[in-house]
Copies of this chain bind each other. A is one copy, B any other.
Amino acid sequence: MQSRYFVINDRPQGMPERGLFELHTIELPSLKDGEVRVRNTWLSVDPYMRGRMNGIKTYVEPFELNAPLEGGAIGEVIESRNSRFPEGSKVLHNAGWRDVAQLTGEALDPLPKLEVPEQAYLGVLGMPGMTAWTGLNLIAEMREGDNVLVSAASGAVGSLVVQLAKAKGGTVVGIAGSQEKLDWLESHGIKAISYRDKNAEQLSADLKQACPEGFDVYFENVGDICLEAALTNLRLGARIAICGLIARYNDETPGHGPSNLDMVLIQRAHIQGFIVLDHWSQYPRFLEEVGPQVANGEIDYEETIEDGLERMPDAFLKLFEGSNRGKMLVRL
């Protein structure tokens, strides 16, 4: 049996070109004891993958050149020499960017059995959802009634942050780009502010109008003017969870940081960067809390879906154009 998989053939500078990605085919070796063969049904593309394309170790190893790329994936076991995962098992694993994966049982998790579409475990109930819940609760330590600001508020992570915050918050404000995204936020009771065509000062003034008393929590996905505007609107003792800084992931030369870091001093603010993998032991707690809310429709989530393995690079690149709403996925 063959497996088709994507590689990158170079370390990208700036925004990756489509030509960076090559689709390769290999003949899979026969299964060893303990191994399974998985036909992937859903593949995830996530902003953090951009960091792995650089040749530098950060919090994960960089992708190897010309080796299969990795990423979250869901699939079905089609051949098994592992009794834990018989043929027909639905599994979650990290051998994405390919149609068929051959793996040992240690690399697999069984798909949880909530009444949700299976791809939810790559989004609202997977890594992005867990990231939202972790950042808001464990890092920013959101308290009942806190005013919460979220950047990239309609994205895979942000869209869950705003809903979790709204359920126990004071004023919840989301920053997003397109009118469609702003409408989605408003329809969920979130005050929506566009960052488009604004400088930090203008964005800051709009945030002040949306929440004059300022924010206790800022959930940061973007950086750049969003961070600067947020710093100006902190309340005393504010907590900032830095989840991502997507504005700069493709910059060739690093841009400047916010000019108002003195607000951290004035408001005795906490800033903490976090990586969700460090907190993965809490995943069962997250699933127990958020899973039923997703299953019964209390929590809404959006997906942007591309069809076919060939579309993986395009889906990935769209993450940086701000064109997806909610979780970006590829369906095989």
Chain A residues close to B by CB (< 8 Å): 58-59, 223, 227, 242-245, 248, 254-262, 264-275, 278
From B259, B266, B278, contact of A273 by CB (8 A): B266
Chain B residues near A58 (CB, 8 Å)? 266
**A270 contacts which of B59, B265, B266, B272 (Cβ < 8 Å)?**
B272
Q: Is the CB of B273 within 8 A of A245?
A: no
User: A268, B272: Cβ atoms under 8 Å?
Assistant: yes
**Cα–Cα, bound, A265→B260 (Å):** 19
CA distance A39 to B262 in the complex (A): 36
Contacts of A242 in B (CB 8 A): 261, 264-265
CB-nearest residue of chain B to A278: B268
A243 contacts which chain B residues (CB < 8 A)?
A: 265
Residue of chain B at shortest CB distance from A239: B272
Q: How far is the CA of A277 from the CA of B273 in the complex (A)?
A: 27
A174 CB, min distance to chain B CBs, angstroms: 21
- A-side binding surface: helix, strand, loop or mixed? loop
In contact, B264 and A269 (Cβ under 8 angstroms): no
The contact sample of 14 A-B pairs, CB cut-off 8 A, is A58-B266, A59-B265, A59-B266, A59-B268, A245-B265, A254-B262, A257-B257, A257-B258, A258-B261, A264-B271, A264-B272, A267-B273, A270-B270, A271-B271
The chain B residue with its CB closest to the CB of A234 is B273
**Nearest chain-B residue to A261 (Cβ)?**
B257
Q: Does the CB pair A245–B271 fall under 8 Å?
A: no
Q: Give every chain B residue within 8 A of A248 (Cβ-Cβ).
A: 262
A245 touches B268 (CB 8 A): no
**Nearest CB in chain B to that of A56: its residue:** B266
Is the Cβ of B268 less than 8 Å from the Cβ of A271? Answer: no
Q: What residues of B have a CB within 8 angstroms of the CB of A278 in the complex? A: 268
- A292 to B64: give the CA distance in the assembly, Å: 58
Closest to A255 in B: B259
- A197 → chain B, closest Cβ, in Å? 21
* Alpha-carbon distance between A266 and B275 when the two chains are bound, in angstroms: 8
Residues on B with C-beta less than 8 A from A244 are: 265
In the complex, what residue of chain B is closest to A270 when comparing beta carbons?
B272
Contact B265 A254 (CB under 8 A): no
Residues of B within 8 A of A255 (CB): 259
Output the least CB separation between A228 and chain B (Å).
Answer: 8
A55 to B269, CA, bound (A): 22
* New contact pairs (4) apart from A58-B266, A254-B262, A257-B258, CB-CB < 8 Å: A264-B273, A265-B274, A270-B272, A271-B272
